[in-house]
Structure 1
Amino acid sequence: MKILLTGATGFIGSRVAEQLARGGHEVYPWPRPWRFPSGHFDACIHLAWYVEHGKYLHSPLNRQCLQDSLALAHLLIQHDCRRLIAAGTCFETIGHPSLYAECKRTLFHELQKLPLELAWMRFFYLYGPGESPRRLVPQVITSLLRGESVPLTLGEQVRDFLHVADVAGAVCAIAQSKLTGALDIGSGEPVTVRELAETIGRIIGRTDLLVFGARPYPPDEPMRIVANNERLLRTGWRPRFTLEEGLRDTISWWQCQRLQEAASA
């Protein structure tokens, strides 16, 4: 397959590009501003969006991403590339009151009106090597590796965590399938934030540094978000990593980062 890929250098996109190329597909990174490259393409995987941690949920840049995405869709139609695999969010499923969720919902609604074979991927909670250090899993790992205490909420939130390599594998499986409509991209396995943090602490050997209840729950914090991945499983996709295996892989990556930083100091 010849596949256009937006967000090709991102956390998910870089893995998608690697896995597709390894599978013998021709992958063409498509940066903004959109200018359609010459030739015919079988599909477009659209992952590009503004996702800076701590800012993206309520940023006005979400509206620009919405407009850019609609412009991309019309370019695909003009050039007879009718298969679009686009990134949504699990926040759509719970009515999250953020501009990010609102723009993703609007995009899905508008894309459904167009003559496209649309597969809409709702990403749940992902983690893995190279994730922004300000996000939950890297924050817990790096703090424990430094021997610092980790202030947390009570950790009763139920989540669905999936290693980024498995997320990328799911994207590739969908791109090569004929599935359309909304698909949840997750493990389907509920786990509490407390269980997640305790697993990290146990692997590193510093559960004593986890301080549960030191932080209040954020406003509008959803208490349960778990994927229903039945449609995704129809592609034949299965996760390679259990949660513990994925966390061990991620911890190992962060340990290597610390060693490299120490060697270059």
Structure 2
Amino acid sequence: MSKKILITGATGFIGRYCLKLLKDSSFEIHAATRQEREDNEIFWHKCNLLEKGSAVRLIRLVRPSYLLHLAWNAEPNVFWSTPENLQWLSASLELLQAFAEHGGHRVVITGTCAEYDWRFGWCSEDITPLNPGTLYGTCKNALQDILSSYSHETAISTAWGRIFFIFGPHEHPARLISSVTLSLLRGQIAACSQGNQVRDFLHVADVASALVTLTTSDLQGPINIASGRGISVREMVINIGTSLDRLDLIQFGKVPNSPTEPPLLIADTRRLNDELGWQPSETFQQRIKETIDWWKLQFS
């Protein structure tokens, strides 16, 4: 009999890529969504997890042995401070408890680099202090703390995928790489900061691959999901401008840096690479090209 996996946030930026990978696995796939959907390979369940009791009803119906919990508010310029973070924390706890009480075996939940103390720049699961500066990061960190303690009190296996900076097809158009690419494709000025911030970017397909690999493993605790390499925002933007032959439209220094934005954020990926045995399938340059080509197709 196939093992059942339930994935939340299945229609989101990361979720759609996770589903593609899971379709090639031996899992019986169940996915939660707020809209009616049909798929011969996936059991879709219409469910609003923010409604009290909905998570319990869903778990009771599906009774999955694996849970990949991706759902959360990720709307740009909103998710950092929206009170909905508190609702997602509450809904996630309800989901986790129901999963454990109905025979769940393995759960992976996505976290964020915003849990770390950004003053340190280099983020290691075992070394860098956790000191979130936003409501989003605080709620995620609280969930991770509870997940860790709860796993010691129950029989479930748990892991926490701490995601850094993502890019790729289907990204929200307000995010950095997509917004710059769209501006240049439209022949519009791409106003940017000086771009000296160094960030750790990973393509969404690789993020999904790492999460699915983590879900099917027995590795526990927090694991950074990132490339482990830094690139400046300026270099990233120039890369896009060069690919589209529109460097003339890029204006650095037109957007002020946020006072809360750190100069450096890079992940220690030794747990991901050495303990999980995971590596990206393509080079960074190949992934950037894929992303730009996908946006080009949206204009063709």
TM-score under structure 1 length normalisation = 0.94
> Aligned to 1:121, what secondary structure does the other structure show?
strand
Q: Distance in 2 between matches of 1:39 and 1:106?
A: 27
Determine if contact 2:169/2:295 at 8 Å carries over to the other structure.
yes
Of 241, 252, 257, the residue aligned with 2:298 is: 257
- Larger CA deviation: 59-68 vs 223-232: 223-232
1:39 offset after TM fit, Å?
5.5
Corresponding residue of 1:248: 289
Task: For 1:63 and 1:49, locate their aligned partners in 2 and report how far apart those are by CA, in whole Å.
Answer: 10
In structure 2, the partner of 1:99 is 135
- The aligned counterpart of 2:92 is 69
Cα shift at 1:180: 0.5
Residue of structure 1 in register with 2:42 after alignment: none
Identity rate, percent: 39
- The alignment status of 1:112 with 2:148, answered yes or no, reads yes
Stretch moving more, 207-216 or 71-80 = 207-216
Aligned CA distance change for structure 1 residues 151 and 96 (closer, same or farther; 3 Å): farther
Instruction: Report the CA distance between 1:219 and its aligned residue.
Output: 2.9
- Give ranges in structure 1 of 5+ residues lacking alignment: 260-265
Q: Structure 2 CA distance, aligned partners of 1:136 and 1:37? A: 40
8 A contact 1:86–1:119 mirrored in 2: yes
Unaligned runs of 5+ in 2: 33-46, 118-130
The runs of 4+ residues in structure 1 deviating greater than 4 Å are none
Q: Does 1:188 align with 2:190?
A: no
The number of aligned residues is 259
Aligned counterparts, 1:76-225, within 5 A: 76-94=99-117, 95-114=131-150, 115=154, 116-225=156-265
Counterpart residue identity of residue 254, structure 1:
W
Contact 1:62 1:100 in 2 (8 A): yes
Residues 28-82 of structure 1: per-residue CA shift (max 9 Å, x gap): 1134231215465331000000111111100000000000000011001110103
Would you say the 8 A contact 2:73–2:79 is kept in 1?
A: yes
**8 Å contact from structure 1 (residues 127, 163) kept in 2:** yes
Distance 1:62 1:45, change over 3 A: same
Task: Report if aligned partners of 2:63, 2:99 keep a CA contact under 8 Å in 1.
Answer: no
Q: Which residue of 1 aligns with 2:27?
A: 25
Shift in Å, 1:140: 0.5
d(CA) in 2 for partners of 1:26 and 1:252?
Answer: 33
Measured in 2, the distance between the counterparts of 1:100 and 1:177 equals 27
Helix, strand or coil: the match of 1:57? coil
